[in-house]
Structure 1
């Protein structure tokens, strides 16, 4: 008997013996008896299961495109976030306030960016500052620590001391990164600088007590600048013929000093050629001036600020210059031109100054323009 016939007999016998309400037995077909056309994966199209809707493949493609686009957007967003993080504006210290007055300071709680940063907060006017110009500036410096601090104390504050920094522009502070930024600016300018420790350097950092790895932040108000052509203005007074006669030079050039034929005075002589209208020079101030010095003996120039290309600054009345200057210039008004005749004992004494060609017996003649006193 064949397998088909045997199966039919079994089914028939089962039907006769089973009760009417019993479930029919189902015999699973063997794999070899199933044709390819009869097999549907996942029972798609089987009883009680709906067939695929029209357009399913198109929908799947659309979903695939949407997913791909969404993935690309996410990737681009992540890349953009990374670029923003790398190029995001660095936190900075804020200085706010009127020019020439101590500004208020806000130091971020975030760690310093360790990048040099320079901003011109206020733009001044007038001629640009040259490398050799004499500059007067207020400085305010703070420490931006790597460890956030609740309070910050100024490391340097010339406002509080009422003593601006004064000196040649290229060497005003001894901090090259700062001095470089002052050159080329104009008086009336306020700068804000953030300088990493490596830019500040060990020597300056130690002097300011700046912590290793910390940033130095500064506010710089450039108050005044005096260039090579700076001079006092006014009409010169006539003086006695026994004194050297002074003829003003062109802007930026030294005056001509004519020595009389007689002997040099034995004591300090001071003659005001132009009377200034400013405040009197006080002991301990830095006198800013143009000067020219000649020897009474020869009439030759031995020193001159004009030769150096810019005015100079000297602490006055405190023994930092020759005695004749301390005695002659303290009390003179800013804006004055003064003739000073200095005998040896009020100058370089009996030893003179060989490097300048000054003998111990030489009387010195100076013409000084008092431009300012800081």
Structure 2
């Protein structure tokens, strides 16, 4: 199935050849311009997916961008796939297509990956070459995010800076809070995870926007490590995060279209524990125990186990006993563990 993760993985696989011999690989593409080469490379997986599973390709692209250039790309995918020259010509003449490509490059971490993977000399060449090529578009206010990505501090430095906040022991200054907020929205998952962990150490109540951002990372972040770090921090801060708003947010997430979000909601509920038990939440978790996705079923069983005796209703125990018969080994084990925990 084509989604953001498979698209990113495909691009990074293709970039392995480029990293070994950048100039040679660009020559194979028939261009000396990095913008042309990267445009072709990042769009190739989309074009292939569009020919086989067009709906998934369109939905995945819409998760990155919904500009007029998106519509152009969809309507001309079949033509552009087989003509690099046409794609490059459109890149030159279409600001909306340039915006789409910029957003793909950033959303799928292409620039970050290249700057991290290339040696120092080639990384500097990449920065300079791309900066020179996109300079003519500056006067129109275009490609500013790409320009920023080329000039920003390397992600390792950002990661180390956020991690160093542990010396504060949760007593943060105004600039510390700002740094953590920026980390939660960083393009690199390790930086987002580090920001989430620092929030879990906070010794003062979170501002509402940081609270919302922490829940967003826990439920919707594309990276498992970042989601888990945010969920752990929510559990640490449970005394200030358990209220009707968080219950409503998590109940809604349990019925999200994306099974990863449903699993993430179960993980967060387990971290929050018995204080989140309400008839509505228990009914929702019983429903997730019958989810089509085994990961979601397993997560629901683990959440019920973590909630303890307050979750040991007759309906919950009956649902868990049924889940013990699940054909998936991990669901079976999680349900069996939950029945044992709740009965004890």
TM-score range, shorter chain: under 0.3
More helix by share: 2
Which one has a bigger Cα radius of gyration?
1
Superposition TM-score, scaled by structure 2 size = 0.23
Superposition TM-score, scaled by structure 1 size = 0.22
More strand by share: 1
